[in-house]
Structure 1
Amino acid sequence: MQTHAQQLRGRVADMQTREALPGAVISTLNNNKGCAADAQGLFGLDAGNADSIKISSVGYITRKLPVTAVTQGIIYLEPVAANLNEVIVSSSRDKQYRTDAPVAISTISPQTLQDTKATTLDKVLNKVSGVYMVDLGNEQHTMAIRQPIGYKSLFLYLEDGIPIRTVGDFNHNALIEINMAALRNIEVIRGPASSLYGSEAVGGAVNFITLLPTIAPTVKVQAEMSNWGYKRTDFSASGTSGKWGAVVSGYYANQSNGYMDHSDFHKLGLSLKTVYQANATTRWTNAATLINYNTDQTGGLDSAHFYSKDYRNFQTFTYRDVQALRIRSTLDKQWNEDNSTSFTAFYRHSTIGQNPFYAIKNTADPLRSTGQINSDGFHSYGMIIQHKKRFNWKEAALIAGVSADYSPATYYAGFITVDRNAAGYYTSYQTTDSVLTDYKVGLLNTAAYTQFEMSPLHRMKMVAALRYDRMDYDFVNHLTPSAYTGAPSEKNNFNALTPKLGLIYSLENQIGFYANYSRGFAPPNISELYQGVKVPVLEPATYNNYEVGGWFGFAGNKGYADISVYRMKGTNEIVSVRTQDGSYENRNTGATTHQGIEWNVKYNLCSSILLRTSGTYAHHNFDAYTEKGKVYNDNRMNGAPQWITNSEITWKPLFLKGFRLGGEWQHIGSYYMDPANTAMYGGYDLFNLRAGYAFKSIDCWINCMNVGDQLYATTAEKSAYGATYRVGPRQTFNVGIGYTFTGKK
C-alpha cells in the first residue's frame, strides 16, 4: 500500500486463501471516513488527517493499523476460528449469511481443510453433524446423511453449484471425480434441496467450492507419505494481473504394498480456473477439471477373516478405472443494485470401467465362478441461467432460473469366467464372446425454479421456493431383450414439482430460530428401469421433510451452537419385489420414516484452545418394505446407526505461533446388518491425532489415524450368504511437508 497526502490505496485479502475480500470495509478511526473494497479487493480512501485505519469484514478478525505503518500493498485479514455468520452460497445459489438461510447447513472452512491435511474427503466431511461418509478404500466411498448407509441415489454432489454427474446415472463413488487440491471450502445441506438443485438432493447436497485466483502470485507444493505405502504430492499456482486471474492446482496420489493385499491405486487430479473481471459489475469465469483414477477393488471379509485380522483379499484381479472431464464457463453480470444475472454453460464426460468384485457369483462347481467386465459412460451438455431481483419492499428478493442438461449415456457388460481355489480366493479370469448388456440412453433433464424471500416483520424472514423438473429417457437396447440382456427399447418421462417453505426469526445477541418444509425426489436410475425384461412404470421416489432448528452465539464471540430436529417420510421408494412366477422386478412399494436431532458446537475455551463437537441421534424405520418377497414392515432400517458423533479439541499456543495439535474422536453407534433385524454390528470408536507447525513459508505435519490400531468395519452387512465386513484403515501415520511462496504486489 502507498501513502501520499493521506490518499490510501491498497487491497484486502483472506490470510488463509490469499483471495480478494470484496466488501471489506476500510475506515478511519477519528474522522468517520470509509469505503468498501471492490470485486478485486481494491480500495481507495481519503484518510484526511487520520492517523489510524480499521479494516473489517464479516467472519474475520478486525485489524487496526497506523497510517504510517501501512506500507504493504495487501492487507490480510485472518478468519474467525468459530464464526456463526459465515457467508454461504448453496442455500439460494447466491451469496448470503448463514443466519439468513432456513435450512440445516454446515461449512467446512479453508482453515479446517488446511489443518486437517486430509488424504480422503471423509476425514473432513465426517466433522459435519449428521454426516457419515463411508470409507470404502482408496477414495471409494458411499454416504449417509439423514439416511442409512446405502448406495441409492439420495445424495447430490456439486462442484461450484453444478452436479458432478447427470440425472439418472447416479454413482455412490462420484466423489472420486473431485480434485481435492482445488478445494477452497465445502458446504453441506442436510435434508432435501430439490427445490433449487433438482433430483437426488434428498438426504443432502454437498457443494465443493473451488479456489479463486489469489491477489499476489502464490505457489504451493507439498509432499506426504504414510507407513502403508501411500505417497502424494499436491501443487497449486495462482495470481492476478490486471483484470485476469488464474489458478492451476492438482495432486497425484499412489498407494502400493498396503496392509491389505491387492489394494493399490493411483489418482491424478488437475484443475484450471481463470477469472476475467471486466469491470466492477461483470465477471467471466472458466474452469476445467480432469481426473485419471485406477484402483484395485477390495471387497468385504467374512466373519472369520475379519475377527482374526486376516487381511488377505479374496479378490486378486478386480479393478475400477475412472476417467472424468468437466468444463464450465460462467458469466456474472450485476446490472444495477437490484438486478443480477448469471449464465453458465457446461460439459461433462465420465467413464467408469471395472471388473467388479460384487458381480462375481459362485457356481455349483466350487472352483468355478462367473463375473463381468463393464463400462458405464456419459457425455453432458448443459446450461443454467439465473436472475436475481431485489425489491424496495420488505427486503424482498426473487431468484428465478432455468436449466437444461442433455446426457447421452452408454453401458456395456461382457461375461467372464472366474477361477477359484480351494481356499475360496478368486485367482484369475477369462474373457468370453458373451455380451451381457449393451445399451445407450439419451438422458434429458429440463427444469425451471424460483425462490422468493421477504421480511414481513422486523427480524423475521420468509423463504418460498418451487422447482419443476422433466426427465426424458430414450432407451435403446442393442441386444435382443431377455432376462439377462435387459428391457426392450422404449421411451420414458418423469415429472416432479418440489416446493420449499421456510421461516427465520432472529433475536438479539446472535440468537435465532428457523422452521422449514421441503420435498425431495429421486427418479429411477437407468439401471433400475432397464435391467430386466419386465419393466414396470416406475415413478420418482418422494420424500417430505419437516424440521425446526436454531442457533446462538456465545458471549464474547467465543463460538456458537446450532441444532436441528427433523422428520422425513419417504414414499414410492423403488425396491426389488419377487413376483408370483419367481422373478424379480422393480416397483414403487417402499415407505420409510427418518427422524432425528443434529447438533454442532464450537467454543473457544481460551485464545489458544478450540472445542468442537457435532453429531446426530436418529431413527430410520421401514414403514412398508418388501424386498425379494420378504416383508420388513416396521423394522429398523439396516445400516442405520442411531448415534453418529465427531468431537475435536485443537490447541494453537500463543507462545509458539504456527504450532497446532488436535485430537479427534469419531463414534459410530450400533446398527442392524440386515432388513430382517437378525444381526447387529456394534459400531466403533476411533481416535485420531494431528500435529503441525508452520514457520514462515514452511509447513510440516504428522497425523496418526486410528491411534489404537482398532479393528473396525466401515460397513457391516448380512445376506443369505453370510456376514460381510469392510475393514477400516489400520493405524496410519502420515508425514508431510509443504512450501508456500507468496509474491508481493
Structure 2
Amino acid sequence: MKTLAFFVGILCAFTSYSRAQTIELQGKVIDKLTMEPIAGASIKVNNLNIGKSDASGSYKVSVLRTDTLYVSYAGFQTCCYQPNIDDNVIALEQEIQTLKEIVVTAGRVAESRRESPVAISTIGTLILKEAKANSIDQVLNKASGVFMVNLGNEQHQMSIRQPMTTKSLFLYLEDGIPVRTTGLYNHNALIEMNMAAMKQIEVIRGPASAMYGAEAIGGAVNVITLSAPAQATGQISIQANTNGYKRTDIQYGDSFGRAGVLVSGYYADKNGGRLQHSDFSKAALSVKSNYNFNAGTRMVNGISYNNYYSDMFGALDSSHYAGRNFSSLNNFTFRKVKALRIKSQLDHRWNDFAETKASLVYRDNRIDQNPAYKIKNDYRRVAGTYQGNPFKAHGEISTSQFNTFALFLQHDQKLEKLGSKISAGANLDFSPSKYQADYISIDKDEAGYFTGYSKSDSALSSYSTAITNLASYLSYNQKIWRGLKLVAAIRYDYYHYNYQNKLSGTAFSGAPNTKNNFQSFTPKLGLTYNYQNVGFYTNFSQGFVPPQISELYQGVKVPYLSPQKFYNYELGGWLELYKGKIFADWSLYSMKGTDEIISVLADDGTSKNENAGKTSHLGFEYGLNYRPSAELKLRLSAANSRHTFIQFVEKGLNYNGNVMAGAPGFLANGEISYRPAFLKDLRTSVEWQHQSSYWLDNINSKKYGGFNVYNVRGAYQFKQFEVWLNILNAADTYYSVAASKSASGYSYNLGQPRTFNTGISYQLSKK
C-alpha cells in the first residue's frame, strides 16, 4: 500500500506540474510591415496543427511554456515563436520576390503566383514604402515590360505590350474594381488614386478581359489598398524637392473589438520648377473600415476622394526643346479632376471550401479642362497656301462627368475531391454621363505666344450618354497531375449606349440620338506546371474594347463601330535557385489586334472612324533578382518588343509593315540595393532606367534616341523616425520622356531635371 501511495503521489505531482506548464495563449497574427491582421495563419507545434488565426487575425491555443510555435502563411516567412503571456502579437515578414508570393489579380482570389498562368508583376509593400515615390511611375516602372510615361504632375500615358499611348488599351482597378466605367476611358486615370493608401500594385501583362472585361488589353493595373491595422498605429511624413514639389502624408488606424478603421491621405502641390505654367495641387483622402459579424462574415466599407488641379503646360516644340526654352506658349490651360468612389463589400465564408462576395459601388467623377492639345492656329496651310488670321487661334473648354451605380457578385467553390476550384461572378454597371465642349477664340502675339481667350456662345458638343454593362464570368481550375494545373475562363459582356444629342445635326457632335449595343465573349485557357522551384506556363487569352463614346459620336454623322479584338498567345516560366537567392521569371508573347478603330479618309475628303486596322505585337519580358547576401540585392526588369502594322491605312497614308510610333524596342530598369551590416538601419540604392530609340511617326521618317536615367536613394531609420534623400535623374540627363511627330511638327514631353527630394516621417505605434 505504501508503494502504491508513493507512485500515486508521484503521478499527481507530475500531472500538477504539467498543468502548471500548460498555458492558454491568445493574441493576433499581423503583417509586420503594414500591421494588418492576417487571417488563416497556421500555428504548429512539432509539425502538428494546433490552430489558425480567424478573420480578425486572432488566435487561441493551448501550449506548454517550453513549446516553440511555428506560424506560417502563404507569402510570408515562417516565424518561430516562444510563448509569452505579456506579448502575444506574432508579426510575420513578407516574402520578397519568390514563388510563394500571393497575388489576387490573376484570378480575382488570393492564390500563389506559381499557380497563375499569366505574366504578372508585383510591386510590394516594401518597395512602395522604401521608394518614397511622388508619382506612381517611379514604382510601376520597376516591373518588367511596363513603362508609365510621366507627363508631369501625376499625368501619364502607358506602355504595356503596346507603344506609349493614350488609347483605351489598359484597365486600371482599385481592389479589383475598375476605377472608371468602360467607354469613358481616361489615360490619366491613375490621377484618381490615393498613393498614401496603397498596399501593393499588381500588373497583369497581356489581355485580362476574361476576368475583368473591356480595356484590359495591354494589361490590367490593380492597386490594392491598405486595411485597418490590428492595433493603433499611424504615420505622418513631409517631403519636398528642388523642383518645387511639396507633400504631407497622414495615416492612422486602429481595431477595436470586431471593427477596424484606417484613414489615409496626402496633400501635394508644386509651385515653380523648370517649366513655366506647370503648377499643380492634389488632395487625396481614403477611409476604409471593416466589421466582423462572426468568424465567417465580414463587411468592408471604403470611401476615396481626390481633388486635383494642374496647369497644362503641354509639350515643347522642336525649337523650344533644342534651345532649352521652357517658357509656356500660354498661361491659361488647365485640368481639374474631382473623383469620389464609395464601395461596400460583404464577404461570407460558408465553410473552408466556399465563399461569396457582394460589392456595391458608387462613383462620382468630373473633369474640367482647357486642354493645351486642343489649341489650333487659325493661320495654316491649306491647298498649298496659307490662310486665316496669323494672330488668332482657337480651342475649347470642356466638362466631362459621370456617375456610376454598380453591383459586383462573385462565388468561389473548392471541389476538394476533384482537385478543382470554380469561380463564378456577375456585375451590373449603370453609368449616366454628360459632356459639354464650348468653343474659345484665342489671341496670339507676334512672338507666337497665346495671350488670352474669350468664350463664345458656340457649343462644339453637348450630349449625354447612359452606359449599361451586364457581365458574367466563369473560371475553372483543375489539377490534372502532380504540379500540372489547367485554368480556363470565359466572360460575356453586353453594353448598351443610349446617346442623346442636345445640339442640331449640323454641330460638331452631330450624331443623331442613337442607341448602340455591343456584346462579346472573351475566353482564356492556360496551363501551369511546377516542379520544386521551377515552373512553366502557357496561355491563350482574348481581349476586347467597345468603342469609346468620343470615337462613336463626336464629329460623327452615322454612329456605327464594332469592338476591337486582340488575340494573345504566351509562354513563360519562373525559377528559384540557391535557397531563394536567385529568382527569375520570363514571358514570351505574340498578340494580334483586329478591327482596330482608325480614321479613314473618305472619297469626299472627310474623315470617319472605321474598324479597319490590324497590328502585331511580339515581345520577350524577363526579370532577375539576386541576393548574394543579406546586405546586397540586385534586380533587373526588362523587355524586348516589336510593334508593327499589318493592315493600317489611315487618312490616306499606308503604314502596312511599318513599326508603330512611340514603341521602343528595349526597355529596362535595374537596381542595386545595399544595407550595410554595420549600420542596419541605413539603406541605399542606385536605379537605372533605360529606353531605347523609337520612331516618332508611323511613316517611320525619324527616330528619337531614347535615354538613360539614374536615380539614387538613401534613407536612415532611428527609433520611430525615418529620414530620406532621393536624387532623381542624378546625372542631370536632358531628355524627353515621350516624343512624337505630327502634321504640326515635333513634340517633346520633357523629363524632369536632376531633383533632390528629401523628407522625414514619424511612426506612431503601441510597440
User: What TM-score, normalized by structure 1, do the two folds share?
Assistant: 0.98
CA distance in 2, matches of 1:575, 1:618: 23
The one-letter code matched in structure 1 to 2:492 is Y
Partner AA of 1:246 in structure 2: V
| 3-state SS of 2:480 partner | coil
- Show CA shifts across 1:430-480 (max 9, x none): 111111110000100110100011011111100100000001000000000
The equivalent of 2:518 in structure 1 is 494
| CA-to-aligned-CA distance 1:70-92 (integer Å, 9 cap, x gap) | 63131212223333321111111
- Is this contact kept in 2: 1:535–1:586, CA < 8 A? no
Residue 306 of structure 1 aligns to which amino acid in structure 2?
A: Y
1: CA distance, partners of 2:563 / 2:95: 43
Distance 1:533 1:187, change over 3 A: closer
Q: How many residues align?
A: 739
Deviations 1:564-584 (A, max 9, x none): 000000000001111000111
* Cα deviation, residue 67, structure 1: 3.0
What's the CA shift for 1:536?
Answer: 4.6
Q: Which residue of 1 aligns with 2:9?
A: none
Q: Deviations over 1:254-288 (max 9, x none)?
A: 00011111000000000001100111111100000
Percent sequence identity is: 44
Letter in 2 for 1:515: T
| 8 Å Cα contact 1:617/1:642 also seen in 2 | yes
1:37 aligns with 2:61: no
**Unmatched runs of 5 consecutive residues or more in structure 2:** 1-19, 379-387
CA contact (8 A) 1:414 1:432 kept: yes
Mean alpha-carbon deviation: is it higher for 18-27 or for 605-614? 18-27
Confirm whether residue 580 of structure 1 aligns to residue 603 of structure 2: yes
Partner of 1:391: 415
Say if 1:82 and 1:558, in contact at 8 Å, map to a contact too.
no
1:622 shift after superposition: 0.3
**Residue 44 (structure 2) aligns with:** 27
Shifted more, 164-173 versus 426-435: the winner is 426-435
For residues 611 and 321 of structure 2, what CA distance do their matches in structure 1 show? 36
The answer on 1:122 being equivalent to 2:146 is no
Shift of 1:216: 0.8
Question: Contact conserved, 1:503 with 1:514, CA < 8 A, in 2?
Answer: yes
Deviation of 1:340 (Å): 1.1
Instruction: State the 1:324 CA deviation.
Output: 0.6
- 72, 77, 90: which is aligned to 1:56? 72
Quick one: structure 1 residues 467 and 231, their matched pair in 2 at CA, closer, same or farther if it must change by over 3 Å?
A: same
Moved more, 34-43 or 284-293: 34-43
Which residue of structure 2 aligns with residue 219 of structure 1? 234
Unaligned 5+ segments in structure 1 are none
Q: Deviations over 1:548-578 (max 9, x none)?
A: 0000012222141000000000000001111
Question: Equivalent of 2:276, from 257, 261, 270?
Answer: 261
Map 1:163-312 → 2, pairs under 5 A: 163-312=178-327
Letter in 2 for 1:86: E
Give the corresponding residue for 1:481: 505
For residue 710 of structure 1, give the secondary structure of its aligned residue in structure 2.
coil
* Counterpart secondary structure, 1:90: coil
**Which letter does structure 1 place at the counterpart of 2:185?**
F
2:358 counterpart of 1:343: yes
Match of 1:460? 484
Alpha carbons of structure 1 residues 341 and 305: separation in structure 2 relative to 1, 3 Å: same
Q: State the one-letter code of the partner of 2:432.
A: P
Contact 1:664 1:689 in 2 (8 A): yes
Give the conservation status (yes or no) of the 8 Å contact 2:527–2:537: yes
1:629 and 2:648 are equivalent in the alignment: no
Change (3 A) 1:55 1:631: same
Of the three residues 433, 436, 441, the one matched with 2:465 is: 441
1:535–1:585 Cα contact (<8 Å) kept = no
1:567-716 mapped onto 2 (5 Å cutoff): 567-716=590-739
Asked if residue 66 in structure 1 is aligned to residue 85 in structure 2, the reply is no
Kept after mapping to 1: 8 A contact 2:712/2:727 = yes
Provide TM-score, normalisation by structure 2: 0.95
Residues in 2 aligned to 1:152 and 1:644: alpha-carbon distance in whole angstroms: 20
Q: Does structure 1 retain, via aligned residues, the 8 Å contact 2:713–2:726?
A: yes
Note the 1:713-732 alignment, pairs <5 A. Answer: 713-732=736-755
1:540/1:677 Cα in 2 relative to 1: closer, same or farther (>3 Å)?
same
Secondary structure of 1:378's counterpart equals strand
> 1:629 deviation in Å?
1.5
Distance 1:644 1:167 in 2: 29
* Deviations, residues 700-738 of structure 1 (Å, cap 9, x unaligned): 100010011111111110011111101011111110000
CA positional deviation for 1:49: 5.6
Shift, 1:697, TM fit: 0.8
- Give 1:9's aligned residue: 26
Match of 1:412 in 2: 436
Alpha-carbon distance in structure 2 between the residues aligned to 1:220 and 1:392: 43
Please, which of 403, 408, 418 is the counterpart of residue 379 of structure 1?
A: 403
| CA distance, structure 1, for counterparts of residue 337 and residue 437 of structure 2 | 16
What is the aligned partner in structure 2 of residue 357 from structure 1? 372
Give me the whole-angstrom Cα distance separating, in 2, the residues matched to 1:66 and 1:167.
52
Q: How far has the Cα of 1:131 moved from its partner?
A: 0.4
Tell me how far apart the structure 1 counterparts of residues 367 and 230 of structure 2 sit (CA, whole Å): 38
| Matched residue SS, 1:196 | helix
Inter-partner Cα distance in structure 2 for 1:392 and 1:22:
21
**Matched-pair contact (CA < 8 Å) for 1:297–1:357:** yes
Matching of residue 80 in structure 1 with residue 101 in structure 2: no
Q: CA RMSD in A?
A: 1.3
- Between the aligned partners of 2:119 and 2:244, the Cα distance in structure 1 is 39
Secondary structure at the aligned position of 1:186 is classed as: strand
Query: Greater Rg, structure 1 or structure 2?
Result: 2
Shift in Å, 1:5:
3.4
Rounded to whole Å, the distance in 2 between the matches of 1:8 and 1:533 is 70
